[in-house]
Structure formats: C-alpha cells, structure tokens
Amino acid sequence: MERLKTVTAILWLFAGLLILAVSDSAVAANSMRVTTEQNTASVYSGEQVLMRYRYRDVPYKPYADQLFTPGGVNILLDAPSDHQHHHALMFAVTADGVNFWEEHQAPGRQLHRRFCDTRIDSRKDVAFAGFSEQLDWENPQSGELLLKEQRALEVCRLTEPAVTLLTWQSRFEPPKSKESVTLTGSHYHGLGLRFIRSMDNDGEFRNADGKTGTIFRGDERLVRSRWCAYTAKADGKDVTVAMFDHPGNERHPATWFTMTKPFAYLSATLALHKEPLKVASGNPLVLRYGAALWDGRAENDVIEKLYKRWAAWPRETTATPKPQ
C-alpha cells in the first residue's frame, strides 16, 4: 500500500510538471505575435520587436531592415550612402543573367505577391512567430518571370543565454513556362547582412572550423564552414551575430564572404562565382539559413551548441509556405 501511494504521488508530480511545462510553453507562445502593416511585417515578443520586414514600398526586393538582440540593439543597416543597394538582411543572386543584387543597369525585381501563412507556435521549450510569402523574380525589361520563390521567416527568443534567432528559408523553382533557371553571381551574392556603422572596422570574424579563409581581394575573404560569426561593438557594447548554414542545403557547408574594411559585411553564398547552379522544373531548391544574435561576446562553444540545436529542428519551419 505504501509503495502504491509513493508511485501515485510520483505520477501526480510528473503530471503536474508536464502541465506546468505545457502551460509555460503556451504562455511563451502567447507572448509572440506578428503584425502586418501596409509596407512592413514585424515579429514581437511581448511589446519588444524582434524583427521588421519590408515587403512593399521597396525599390527592388523585400528584406529584413531591423533585427534586434535580446537587449534591444538593432544590428542592421539599410541602404547606406556608400552602397544603397545593401538592404540590411537580404537574399539576392543573378538568375538567367539578370542581376537581382546590384540595383543599376536594369536590375531584376523580387515582387511580393502575397502572404501565404502567418503562424505562432511552440516547439519543446521554444516559442516561434513567423510568416511565409510568395515572390516572383522578374526581368523588368522583358516582363519575363524567371523564378518563383516561397519564403518563410521565423523568429524566436531563447534564454540561458538570451538569444534572438531568425530562420530564413527560401524554396525556389522555375515558373511553368521554363524548364530550368541558372543561378550565377558575384562572390558575395547570397543571403547578405550589412551591419550598423558602429560595428564597422574593429570587429572579429570567426567560423566553426577556425579557418582564416582565402583572400579574394583587399580585405575580402572566403571561407567554407557550417557557421560564421562576427563580434563587434554596437554603440559601445559588444554584440555577436552568427549565421548558420543548414546541413541539408545545397553545397553545404556554405562559402562565407566576410569583410571588415571599409565596412563590415557577412554573406552566406553558394560560391556561384565559381560554379553556376541549375534549378530544374520539378526539383525545387530549398535553402535554410539562421541568424543568431547575442548581447556581449558569445564564445565558439556557445555558438556551436546553438547551431547543433537549430540544425536538428525539422527542416520545414512552422511557417513553411504552401506550394503554389
């Protein structure tokens, strides 16, 4: 009888902990929200914005123009005077010879068509909020549709240590009128991140393999690794930004483009300057990247631990677009 009482007490304790865990997860999920305005979509944790995304009233492409550390520091710089086509955090390459990165000499346009889904969800002890979007990559000179993209952005806030984590997933395929699309580009084309001015020049780049990388030109380096991080002072306070390449991505590990002078830049690339990539009808290209932000310096073991955790999550995000 005493043994039965003990077992019963343990079961009740376990049930209570399970209910508490579910309740905590529900509370965390309820604290996340997505707002959609006329020109922007934003993800919030409570009253604090974690990311803002511009999808309309943009010159050539939608992009994330604000991304905040847990402490509220925005690390993105949009359209600086030295390179006005650097739109904070953006994805762009060259498709069938049409340049979607630079914005001169008849650039291509990524056109927002619609939001497919907006979701708030939780996975284990993590709450997420995100949305998915349908875009058309068009040649404005001919009006030809070159590429269709289903883009999903998902943001969460983690604790111990505090981290803002963005997942960017893009699914590319040719339109029905084309059998294939060939992707090319410069050595920096891909998912590019331009840092705020105070993070220029004196920061430190690191990667998962401790490689110095090869010099491409000047201060520009290329290095292959599963993640690449940058620590610098943002308005006098250290912050760390790490970008992740998912193991399932084409040409994993990514070729990272880095530079610190005359300004800091980080880009996850497919090394398209060396080898074009053909996307054939019926065989979509799915790319998934992460961007993690810490206040202060995050050491390599902390970054690696988060990378492994992120890479183990299901490849499809909770805001995965529905194929059109």
Residue 105: what pLDDT? 85
In percent, the amount of the chain with pLDDT more than 70 equals 87
Question: What residues have CB less than 8 Å from 18, skipping those under 6 apart?
Answer: none
Residue 323: what pLDDT? 39
Give the Cβ contact number of residue 103 at 10 Å: 20
Residue 16: what pLDDT? 37
Residue 28: what pLDDT? 52
Give the DSSP H or E segment for 11. helix 2-31
Distance of alpha carbon 277 from the chain centroid: 21
Instruction: Tell me which architecture the domain covering 2-312 has in CATH.
Output: Distorted Sandwich (2.70)
pLDDT at 132 over 70: yes
Average pLDDT of the segment spanning 229-247: 97
The answer to whether residues 31 and 50 touch, using CB atoms and an 8 Å cutoff, is no
Q: Record the tokens describing residue 218, joined without a space.
A: 């000047």
Residue 202 banded pLDDT, cuts 50, 70, 90: confident
Residue 19 banded pLDDT, cuts 50, 70, 90: very low
Average pLDDT of the segment spanning 197-215: 95
Residue 30 banded pLDDT, cuts 50, 70, 90: low
pLDDT at 280 over 90: yes
Residue 106: what pLDDT? 87
pLDDT at 3 over 80: no
Residue 288: what pLDDT? 98
Give the Cβ contact number of residue 3 at 10 Å: 7
Domain ranges of the chain: 2-312
Average pLDDT of the segment spanning 182-190: 98
Average of per-residue pLDDT values in the chain = 89
* 220: phi then psi, degrees, rounded to nearest 5: -80, 135
Residue 247: what pLDDT? 98
Residue 160 banded pLDDT, cuts 50, 70, 90: confident
pLDDT at 6 over 50: no
Q: Record the tokens describing residue 85, joined without a space.
A: 């086509």
The answer to whether residues 182 and 161 touch, using CB atoms and an 8 Å cutoff, is no
Residue 316: what pLDDT? 58
Residue 292: what pLDDT? 98
pLDDT at 98 over 60: yes
Average pLDDT of the segment spanning 243-269: 97
How far apart are alpha carbons 62 and 259 in whole angstroms? 24
pLDDT at 20 over 70: no
